Amino acid sequence: MSSTAVSSEGRLYIIELDLSSFPNQNGRIVTCRPDGSELKDLITGLKHLPDGIAIDEENGHIYWTNMGASTGGFLDGSIQRSNLDGSNITTIVPQGTIHTPKQLTLAQSKERGAELYWCDREGMRVMRCGLDGSNVETLVKTGESLEDRQDQKRWCVGIAVDTAAGVMYWTQKGGSKGNVGRIFRAPLVNTKNEAPDGRTDIEVLFDKLPEPIDLHINTETKVLYWTDRGDPPFGNSVNCARVADSKDALLKLMERRVLTRKLHEGIGLAVDEVNGKMYFTDLLGGVYSANVDGSDKQVLHADIGDCTGIAYSLV
């Protein structure tokens, strides 16, 4: 793919959690144009380690997850919402329900309408709820005990949803630079009515990845994108693979590609499918753009703090 100019349309919304100041962090949500211009703060003073972010263009809302005051996994995580200008901050999933919510995505289907999906890291769960925080539901559970929680192979982190195909994807990252990360897929509808910790309809798509983090699925092309925090040459990268709706087709089409490398603890990922661009962040504070094939990588901001989630929106 030839180099494509970064569109000035729309905006990027970026989480900066201020981890470097822990335990006195003041996280924030910042926004800029897709070319990096017009950088400004939207929300400041976020004390509980914000991580994932999603934009509801139709209703004019920003949603984000808070990992909690200490990320210790003691049900002090939460999900909040604001208007696109940062006003009217509302807690829709309060503390006491989730442990360490990570990547967040908004998905809409004809059957269920619009819903939020997220991964709960130390909670070892894939979850969803309504846009107002109602009907919190656990879809997948990979562990329960304190001993289970110490096993980072059980930690669910990144999430992507394809409602047209009726499936969800998520990452279980494993230990830092551990090369035991995995990406899973399961139906959105649990047709067998199995318990979240006993589902038999879960597929392992990739195994032995360095440390996969955030996900994005192009529901038209069936290309899955993800960031990886692990060691080079395959970690600290953005990757993709073409996935399919059936297992037989999957075996033929699933070929992993490293699109771009040399991130510094890569985390956040957003894709502008219309303009063929992707945007990604790293914990060192970098914000980047590239074509969806990995070419024409550009540094939009070299260091704006400690970055995690990123979202692209036309508004």
pLDDT in tens, 19-68: 999 999 999 999 999 999 999 999 999 999 999 999 999 999 999 999 99
pLDDT tens-digit profile of 108-156? 998 899 999 999 999 999 999 999 999 999 999 999 999 999 999 999 9
pLDDT band at 1 (very low <50, low <70, confident <90, very high): very low
Cα→Cα distances 244→18, 55, 110, 238, Å: 38, 26, 21, 20
Asked if 269 and 259 count as a contact pair (C-beta separation under 8 A), the reply is no
Is 100:71 a contact under the CB 8 Å cutoff?
yes
Question: What confidence score (pLDDT) does residue 251 get?
Answer: 55
31 part of a folded domain: yes
Q: Is 180 inside a domain boundary? A: yes
Domain, as residue range, for 39: 11-313
Q: Look up residue 96 and give its DSSP letter.
A: E
Instruction: Give the largest CA-CA distance in the chain.
Output: 51
Those residues whose C-beta lies under 8 Å from the C-beta of residue 23, and which sit 6 or more positions away, are 69, 70
pLDDT, tens only, 148-201 = 999 999 999 999 999 999 999 999 999 999 999 999 999 999 999 999 999 999
The CATH number of the domain holding residue 210 is: 2.120.10.30
Residue 56: inside a domain: yes
- CA gap 237, 239 in Å, rounded: 6
In a domain, 124, yes or no: yes
Residue 5 lies in a domain: no
The answer as to whether 142 is a domain residue is yes
Q: Enumerate residues 6+ apart whose C-beta is below 8 A from 194.
A: 200, 201
**Distance in angstroms between the alpha carbons of the first and the last residue of the chain:** 27
Instruction: Record the pTM.
Output: 0.94
pLDDT given at position 315: 85
Decide: 161 and 184 in contact? Cβ < 8 Å: no
Domain count, the chain: 1
Quickly state the pLDDT bin for 2 (edges 50, 70, 90).
Answer: very low
Q: Is residue 3 part of a domain?
A: no
Strand partners, 224: 217, 241
Instruction: Give the Cα separation of 253 and 239 in Å (integer).
Output: 15
> Is 190 a member of any domain?
yes
